[in-house]
Structure 1
């Protein structure tokens, strides 16, 4: 029984066997908590200064545009230079910007434009740091440990999403914004130390022989054009996020379906993250799965059906449960999509594909907010949630018919 329980929990073998991955994971976990604390603190500070939900919403737009633009170029840069140095540059910039936020809070600066500008620069630094960091993972652990490493990375991300806002709210309530910003600046020391201890991580020579002379964004997109399995991994996630993302509906559904208030909205927003964290913690089985494409398809299918079921739920506990199931399914999808991208792509393309991954992850949910909000405005929030989940399923079936090789993808013989 004890052995069964251990096999169900996340496989921590990469943490045990790779000191470099262990330090990188710990540093990312600590800095992720700090970043989420800062994101909450910025939103609260902007609302306090302006009293405007529109002005608060602009914070997201200030980060989205640089993230999408520089995410692609950050990936291209990561395929040309030493990824360790690029990661150090991005993490150092993020630490300095967190210190700048703490400074403006200590000085009592009441300029919203300063906050917008710092948030935009943070997005640029993150877009440089994230592709470099993610593209180094296949060099730090053996191929058979990639699913476990990606599951652990998902644990790290969801710890930040759950612990960060709670700790940030506590610090802001007890002291002020300065405490959250200062914690974030100090938290980056763990990430900087992990990057500093890494060996040089220059991209490996291209498969055709000889080093890559240039690494352009267009080359990365052209590479995807002729690699159906990699392309399908991105399209499947877009189908889930664009059609099945109910986040913008939570305020309306909290009142219409569950007769609740702002606390109900908070529960709905937290449920997918809780499910995602649990899915990552109990991911010990992922290393025994070889049909990664099929696993992604089932995970996205579970996401779409769970969201449709959420739209039909009339009891809050059932709605929260279905959202948690959707979050767990999204974790499974992310683990295997990341592994496909890392295993099937050559090293000199991994940075650019990670850049595309950032754009999909950042842009997909925001397009989903627009889609679900528009449909809800034209119909009802309930119809938007149900139709969005079913549209996700329909889009997935069409994509599966268009790219049948994806369902046959086998990690023992990775083919892009």
Structure 2
């Protein structure tokens, strides 16, 4: 029995082989530590905006404040990452993100309570993130052999999910006992881990054909996506999942209505998706063995929508957190499949641009979801906005995913064997 159990655990436990590469190990650990601070700031900003305005719509407006820089600088940053030393670009983007955190710290310490200034600072932070995220994604295939890219993506999403659990939970404690300035100060200090990892990276000059970063380079990347339905649909299903089903902007209102505005309850709600992602990541050994990834993506994202809808009707905090955690587990699995398709499908000279679009979709989709949730809640109420988005997501992703034959039939192993 012990041998059988050991064999099962070996098959399902997270694959840690990429950690044997020092540069990758530093990168993923630094990312994990700094991401705790990033999530702490994200929760604190949301809570502070709601405290200043008392409006979920203003919380939802954090979405476009993030989205516009993500689209502009994400696409541009991905093109630049294909043309310059990726290590240097990662350092530059990191400094921009840190400056925005320092500005939020000064704003909170001075008690200015100016929501317009906060939107500007959030946009600056989003600019830094828009540059660093595609650059980091394009770096990974340069540090590791192809067979370890999928496990590396799982580890990346796992440590990010750990940060998304610890950051909001830490935010609940910090905001309950201290203030917003303390939250931003902790983020500024934790930033050092990610910066150190970037400093220790080797030089990563571009390989293959180098195109000058600019509008033409961005258009070439978009044209590449448009002519490959597998890649295109991996973006489409994610946009559907985030834009229609993500309930994040409604957490402050739900906390105020059902849990008397408790910062601890708000922290648990904010961490719930990531809790599920952490659990899924620890038992993700099977994820890389799924071959029909297009069909699998379609069904798991439909399940995500239904799970989110169910959470809208739950009353106890533990049940809401549990249902959202299941959704978070589903989201991690789908993210690994989508990221791995991009990193192994595209050639190195195109990876920066693919990661730029990926980042725009992954980070921009939730911002659209924030705006959609906040705006619809103001019109139809909390529960209809929350549950209706989840149900609409399930319907749309089934129609889109099953309606594109090449995506529905996509076989990762077969494609790798026949594609030059």
Gaps of 5+ in 1: none
Aligned counterpart for 1:189 among listed residues 179, 182, 192: 192
Q: Which moved more, 1:238-247 or 1:225-234?
A: 238-247
Counterpart of 1:122 (choices 111, 117, 125) is: 125
> After the TM superposition, which residues 2-401 of structure 1 pair with which residues of structure 2 at under 5 Å, given as runs?
2-15=6-19, 17-43=20-46, 50=52, 52-53=54-55, 58-102=61-105, 108=110, 110=112, 112=114, 114-206=117-209, 211-214=210-213, 216-249=217-250, 261-263=260-262, 267-311=268-312, 317-372=318-373, 381-401=382-402
Structure 1 distance, partners of 2:64, 2:35, is 20
Cα deviation 1:16-44 (Å, max 9, x = unaligned)? x2111100001111111111223344455
Q: How far apart are 1:396 and its partner, in Å?
A: 2.0
Gaps of 5+ in 2: none
Aligned partners of 2:50, 2:94: CA distance in 1, in Å?
Answer: 27
User: CA shift at 1:46, angstroms?
Assistant: 5.4
Matched residue, 2:404: 403
Q: Matched residues in 1 for 2:35 and 2:153: separation?
A: 15
CA deviation profile, 1:201-242 (whole Å, cap 9, x unmatched): 233214xxxx33456222211111101000010001112122
My pick for the range that moved more, 183-192 or 372-381, is 372-381
Q: Post-superposition shift, 1:89?
A: 0.8
Distance 1:383 1:62 in 2: 25
CA separation of 1:94/1:114 partners in 2, compared to 1, >3 Å: closer, same or farther? same
Q: What TM-score results when the alignment is normalised by the length of structure 2?
A: 0.84
Secondary structure of 1:284's match?
A: coil
| Residues 393/119 of structure 1: CA separation in 2 closer, same or farther (3 Å cut) | closer
Separation in structure 1 between the aligned mates of residue 308 and residue 184 of structure 2, nearest angstrom: 35
Q: Is the contact between residue 301 and residue 393 of structure 1 (CA under 8 Å) also seen in structure 2?
A: yes
Number of aligned positions between the proteins? 407
Judge conservation of contact 1:33–1:160 (CA < 8 Å) in 2.
yes
CA distance in structure 1 between the aligned counterparts of 2:362 and 2:122, rounded to whole angstroms:
18
Could you list the structure 1 runs, at least 4 aligned residues long, displaced by more than 6 angstroms after superposition: 251-256
- Contact map agreement 1:253 1:382 (CA 8 A) in 2: no
Following the alignment from structure 1 to structure 2, what is the Cα–Cα distance between the partners of residues 252 and 124?
28
Aligned mates of 1:193, 1:260 — CA distance in 2: 40
- Bigger mean CA offset, 273-282 vs 167-176: 167-176
How much has 1:288 moved relative to structure 2?
Answer: 2.6
Q: Deviations over 1:350-398 (max 9, x none)?
A: 1122221222123322333444556566656555544433332322232
Further displaced range: 316-325 or 160-169: 316-325
Call closer, same or farther: CA 1:177–1:141 in 2, change over 3 Å: same
Q: Is the contact made by 2:150 and 2:340 (CA closer than 8 Å) also made in structure 1?
A: yes
Deviation for aligned residue 1:181: 2.9
8 Å CA contact retained: 2:93, 2:131: yes
| Cα deviations by residue, 1:151-198 (Å, 9 ceiling, x for unpaired) | 111112112212112224434555544443333223222222211222
Instruction: Confirm or deny: 8 A CA contact 1:46 1:55 kept in the other structure.
Output: yes
- Cα separation, 2, equivalents of 1:145 and 1:180: 36
1:150 and 1:94 mapped to 2: Cα distance?
Answer: 23
Decide whether the 8 Å contact of 1:229 with 1:403 is kept in 2: no
Deviates more, 1:36-45 or 1:154-163: 36-45
CA contact (8 A) 2:64 2:371 kept: no
Q: CA RMSD in A?
A: 3.1
Aligned CA distance change for structure 1 residues 88 and 410 (closer, same or farther; 3 Å): same
Equivalent pair of 1:204/1:348 in contact (CA under 8 Å): yes
